[in-house]
Structure 1
Amino acid sequence: MKHFAKLAAAALVAGAMGTAALAESLYAPNLSYRTGPFAATGIPLMNGQKDYFEMLNARDGGIGGVKIDFAECETGYSTEKGVECYEKTKGQAIVTQPWSTGITLQVLPKTNVDRIPILAPGYGFSPMADGKVFQWAFNVPSGYWDAASMIINYIDNEAGISGKKIAFVHLDHPYGKEPIPLFEKKAAEMGFEFLPIPVGLKEMQNQSAQWLQIRRERPDYVVMWGWGAMNAGAITEAVKTKFDMSKFIGVWWSGHDADLAIVGEDGKGYKSISWSFPNLDAPVMADIKKHVVDAGISQSNETEMQGVFYSRGIVISMILAEGIKTAQDHFGTAQINAEQLRWGLENLNITEARLAELGMEGMVPPFATSCANHTGHSGGWMLEWDGAKFVKVSDLLMPDTSDYADLIAEKAMEYADANTPWEMNEACNVTN
C-alpha cells in the first residue's frame, strides 16, 4: 500500500510539472539582421522564419503543446554584435541561429563549451558537416562545398569545364572565402582556371574595378558568392558591361528576387543554385495567410512573400521545428533542453512524405541527418531569372560529396587541433 501511495504521489507531482511545462515556452532566439548593409536580404528571411512560427503557435499551440519564443536579437550582421547577442541569449536558449559565417566562426568554440546547438542552414563553416568533431553545429540542409560541387558539375554537364576560365566574384569576408579550397582542388583535378576576384565591404555597391578585370580576363563563366548589396551591385555591373547573363551563376545567397528586379528583363538568364523554392500553392502558404497575414501579425508583404528568400525563411524554421518535434517524440517531453534538441537535429528525416504532411511539397529537397552527417547534403535546383521571377531550370542536382569528404575530415581535425582541448562525440563514427 505504501508503494502504491508513493506512485500516486509521484504521478501527481509529474502531472503538476507537466502542466507547468506546458505553460512555458521554448526559447529559440534568432540573431537577426534587419538593419545594416545586408538588411535587404535579411528582412525577407527573418519574416519567413517568424511567420512560420507565428503560424505554428496560432494554429497548433506551438509544437507538442508548447509555444515557441522566437525573439530576435538584432546584430546588423556585425560579428561583434552577434557575439553579444549570443552571450545575451544563451542562458535559456535551446538553440542559437548566428546568421553570419563570421558570427558562426566566433561562437562555434563557445557552443562546444556551453553545449548549445548552432543551427546555420546553408551557411557557416563547411567542415561542420562532420558531426563527430562538431557535435553541436548543424549547417543543414546543404553546405557551401555542396553548392560549389553542384555549380561545377552543372557547368561541366552544360559545356564541359576543362579548359574553361571561371571567375569567382566573392565577398572578401569569411563567407565569401568558404568555397575557395574546393574550387582550387577541383580546378587542379578537372583542368579549369580558377580566378578569385574579391569584393571588399566598402566596394559592394561600386564594383567597377572588379568588372573591368572581368572584361579584361574574358572568363567563360562568373560564379558569385555575394551577399546583401554586393549582389545587386554585381548584377547591375554585369548588365552594364554586357556580360552574358546565362554564364553568370550565384550561390543560394545570391539568388534574391529583389536584386534581379532592379535590372528586370536585362537580367534574364542569370542563375542561382538553391536548396529552396517558393511554392505559392503549397498548403503551408494558405495556413500562414489564414493565421498570420489575415491576423495582421506578419511584417511581410505580398511581393516579398512570392520570393525565394521569404520561402527559404519558412523552410529554415520548419527545419528547426522538426528538430524540436523529433526531440520531443524521442525523449517523451515537450519541454526539451538544448542537449535534447541537439539529438533531434542530428536525427532529422525530411522525406517527401513528411514534406507533404507539412504542406511544403517542392519547397526543399528531402534530406536526413545523422550522428556523423550534420549537413544532410540535400542537393538543390538550378534557378534562372526569366525577367520577372526565378524558375527551376533543372531537375534536382546532387553534390558529389566523395570529392570533398576527405577535405571535410581534414579541415575538421585541423580546427579541433587548433582549439584543443576540443570535446568530440567519440561515440560517433562514419557509419552512424
Structure 2
Amino acid sequence: MKHFTKMALAATVAAGLCTSAAADIYAPNLSYRTGPFAATGIPLMNGQKDYFTMINERDGGIGGVKIEFDECETGYSTEKGVECYEKTKGRAVVTQPWSTGITLQVLPKTNVDMIPILAPGYGFSPMADGKVFQWAFNAPGSYWDAASMILKFISQDNLDNLKGKKIAFLHLDHPFGKEPLPFLEAKAAQHGFELLPIPVGLKEMQNQSAQWLQIRRERPDYVIMWGWGAMNAGAITEAVKTKFPMENFIGTWWSGHDADLKIVGEDGKGYKSISFSRPMLDAAIQADIKKYVVDAGKSQSNPEEMSGVFYNRGLVISMILAEGIKAAQDHFKVGEINAEQLRWGLENLNVTEERLAELGMTGMVAPFKTSCSDHTGHSGGWVLEWDGKAFVEASDHLTPDSASIQPLEVEKAAEYAAANAPWPINEECK
C-alpha cells in the first residue's frame, strides 16, 4: 500500500497548483477503433483511456486538474488523421497520432503550432534527436531499437553469428513497415547476412499466399515481421499453413497481439515478439483499475482483453503522458499546463524503478529518462513468446545497440532537416 500513500500525499500537495476547479487538460488521442487495424487499436485505446479514467476518479486528475482524454477516430487513415489533428489542436497540449504516416504529416506542423507529438514506440526513429525534432517524442523506444534487439536476440548477442544467413523482412507496405529498413540494411551490410524485404500491401493483409509462397521458396533462416492489425493474423495463419518453424518467426512490438495468436492456438507455439512493455497482472495498478474504472462501469474493455499485452501497453503509454504532465506542473508551478510546458515535461521524464513502484507499475516497462538531446530514452525490452495459450517472457531484459543507432539517428535527422529547410535546430541542446 506504500505507493497509494505516496500518491495520495503528492495529489494533496499538488492540488494547490490548480488554477480553477473547472480547469482541465485536453489530451486528445487520434484513435482507430474502426477499419482494418481496429483489432489492435481497440485494446490499446481502452488501456490508454482506462488509465486516465482511473487518474481522474482516484486522484481527481493530475495536480488537481482533471484530464480530458478525448478521442478523434481516424480509422488509421492518414487523411483523417490530419483532419483530427487540425480539429483538436486548438485546445490540445499534445497530439498522439497513432500512425507513422500521420506522424510524418504532422511532424512539420509542430514547429509552427508548438504542440508536442507523443508517439511511444512508433513514428519516425530519428525523432530521438531532440536537437532537430524539438516537439516530437517516441519514448520509451524506437523502431530501430526494436530491430536492434531482435537481431541481438536471434544472433545470441553477436551479430556476426548471422553471417551467411538469410532473413526475410515481412512488412506492411506503409511508412510504418518501411521504418526499420535503414537500420536493417546497414546491419546486413556490416555483418554479412542477406536481408530479403517482402512487402505486404494494404489489400493483401488477409491473403498473403503470394508472400508466403516466396518465403517457402526462399527458405529464410528467420522471418522478422513488421505487421499491424489484420496483417498479423494473416501472416501467422499462413506461417502455420506452410509449416514455417514458428520458433524462427519474430515480430516487432505491434506484432505481438494475443488475439492474433489465439486464432491458431497451439499451432502458433514458439512465435515471438519484442516488447517494450509487459502485462504484469499482479501489479498494484491493476487493483486500482478494477476498483475505480471496471467496477464503476466506466471501462469499454473486458477481462480477457485486460490480461493481454496491448491493453497493458495502453496503460504504460498513458503513464508516460501523465508523467510528462506531472513533470511540467512541478517545474512550472502551475496545474493547467500548456503545450509548450508539456514539451518541457516530456523532455525531462525520469521514470525510475522507485517511481514505477509508486505508480504500482513495477516491471511493466523498464526505467528510462529523456533529455534535450534524447527524446526516446531507449528503455529496451523483452522477448515474449507464445506458449499456445498466452505470451510469456522468453528473455532477460534486452537493450538496443545505441552505439550504432545514435549516429544513424543524427544522420537521418540532418537529412530530414535539410530536405525540409528552413528547419529550426536547437543549437543550445548538447
Same-fold status (TM-score > 0.5)? yes
Q: What is the letter of the counterpart of residue 155 of structure 2? A: D
Q: 2:186 and 2:153 mapped to 1: Cα distance? A: 17
CA offsets 1:41-93 (integer angstroms, 9 cap, x no match) = 00000000000000000000000000000010000000000000000000110
Q: Helix, strand or coil: the match of 1:285? A: helix
Report if the CA contact (8 A) 1:22-1:334 is conserved: no
Report if the CA contact (8 A) 2:324-2:342 is conserved: yes
Q: What is the letter of the counterpart of residue 85 of structure 1? A: C
Hey, what does 1:126 align to over in structure 2? 125
Report if the CA contact (8 A) 2:225-2:250 is conserved: yes
Hey, what does 1:297 align to over in structure 2? 298
Hey, what does 2:87 align to over in structure 1? 88
Is 1:226 equivalent to 2:227 in the alignment? yes
Q: 1:144 and 1:284 mapped to 2: Cα distance? A: 27
Q: What is the letter of the counterpart of residue 418 of structure 1? A: A
Is 1:27 equivalent to 2:29 in the alignment? no
Q: 1:276 and 1:229 mapped to 2: Cα distance? A: 22
Q: 2:145 and 2:17 mapped to 1: Cα distance? A: 42
Q: 2:164 and 2:61 mapped to 1: Cα distance? A: 54
Hey, what does 2:247 align to over in structure 1? 246
| Alpha-carbon offset, residue 112 of structure 1 | 1.2
316-325 or 17-26, larger mean C-alpha shift: 17-26
Q: How do 1:380-391 and structure 2 match up within 5 A?
A: 380-391=381-392
| Alpha-carbon offset, residue 18 of structure 1 | 6.8
Q: What is the letter of the counterpart of residue 305 of structure 1? A: M
Is 1:51 equivalent to 2:63 in the alignment? no
Q: 2:353 and 2:418 mapped to 1: Cα distance? A: 39
Report if the CA contact (8 A) 2:17-2:333 is conserved: no
CA offsets 1:262-302 (integer angstroms, 9 cap, x no match) = 00000000000000010111110100000000000100000
Hey, what does 1:414 align to over in structure 2? 415
Q: 2:181 and 2:289 mapped to 1: Cα distance? A: 39
Q: What is the letter of the counterpart of residue 234 of structure 2? A: G
Q: 1:258 and 1:128 mapped to 2: Cα distance? A: 31
Hey, what does 2:148 align to over in structure 1? 149
Structure 1 unaligned regions, length at least 5: 1-16
Could you say if the C-alpha distance between residues 425 and 390 of structure 1 is closer, same or farther in structure 2, counting changes exceeding 3 Å? same
Hey, what does 2:396 align to over in structure 1? 395
Structure 2 unaligned regions, length at least 5: 1-15
Report if the CA contact (8 A) 2:275-2:382 is conserved: yes
Percent identity, please. 78
Q: What is the letter of the counterpart of residue 405 of structure 2? A: Y
Report if the CA contact (8 A) 1:250-1:273 is conserved: yes
Hey, what does 1:112 align to over in structure 2? 111
Q: What is the letter of the counterpart of residue 219 of structure 2? A: R
Q: 1:401 and 1:198 mapped to 2: Cα distance? A: 27
Q: 1:323 and 1:22 mapped to 2: Cα distance? A: 21
Q: What is the letter of the counterpart of residue 223 of structure 1? A: I
Q: 1:158 and 1:347 mapped to 2: Cα distance? A: 31
Q: 1:423 and 1:205 mapped to 2: Cα distance? A: 42
Q: How many residue pairs were aligned?
A: 413
Q: 1:19 and 1:343 mapped to 2: Cα distance? A: 19
Q: What is the letter of the counterpart of residue 95 of structure 1? A: V
Q: 2:268 and 2:387 mapped to 1: Cα distance? A: 8
151-160 or 339-348, larger mean C-alpha shift: 151-160
Q: Helix, strand or coil: the match of 2:133? A: coil
Could you say if the C-alpha distance between residues 425 and 21 of structure 1 is closer, same or farther in structure 2, counting changes exceeding 3 Å? farther
Q: Helix, strand or coil: the match of 1:353? A: helix
Q: Helix, strand or coil: the match of 2:389? A: coil
379-388 or 410-419, larger mean C-alpha shift: 410-419
Q: 1:148 and 1:51 mapped to 2: Cα distance? A: 30
CA offsets 1:193-244 (integer angstroms, 9 cap, x no match) = 0000000000000000000000000000000000000000000000000000
Q: 1:320 and 1:20 mapped to 2: Cα distance? A: 21
CA offsets 1:403-428 (integer angstroms, 9 cap, x no match) = 12221111101111111111122210
Q: 1:21 and 1:276 mapped to 2: Cα distance? A: 36
Could you say if the C-alpha distance between residues 272 and 19 of structure 1 is closer, same or farther in structure 2, counting changes exceeding 3 Å? closer
Q: Highest CA radius of gyration, 1 or 2?
A: 1
CA offsets 1:344-395 (integer angstroms, 9 cap, x no match) = 0010010111100000011001111000000000000010000000001111
Q: What is the letter of the counterpart of residue 289 of structure 2? A: I
Q: What is the letter of the counterpart of residue 139 of structure 1? A: N
Q: What is the letter of the counterpart of residue 104 of structure 1? A: T
Q: How do 1:304-383 and structure 2 match up within 5 A?
A: 304-383=305-384
Q: 2:56 and 2:19 mapped to 1: Cα distance? A: 18
* CA RMSD across the alignment: 1.1
Q: Normalised by the size of structure 1, how large is the TM-score?
A: 0.94
Q: Helix, strand or coil: the match of 1:169? A: strand
Could you say if the C-alpha distance between residues 19 and 108 of structure 1 is closer, same or farther in structure 2, counting changes exceeding 3 Å? closer
Q: 2:424 and 2:176 mapped to 1: Cα distance? A: 25
Q: 1:334 and 1:327 mapped to 2: Cα distance? A: 9
Is 1:264 equivalent to 2:265 in the alignment? yes
Q: How do 1:1-40 and structure 2 match up within 5 A?
A: 20-40=19-39
Q: 1:158 and 1:205 mapped to 2: Cα distance? A: 34
| Alpha-carbon offset, residue 162 of structure 1 | 1.4
Report if the CA contact (8 A) 1:22-1:335 is conserved: no
Hey, what does 2:425 align to over in structure 1? 424
Hey, what does 1:102 align to over in structure 2? 101
Q: 1:269 and 1:109 mapped to 2: Cα distance? A: 41
Could you say if the C-alpha distance between residues 18 and 379 of structure 1 is closer, same or farther in structure 2, counting changes exceeding 3 Å? closer
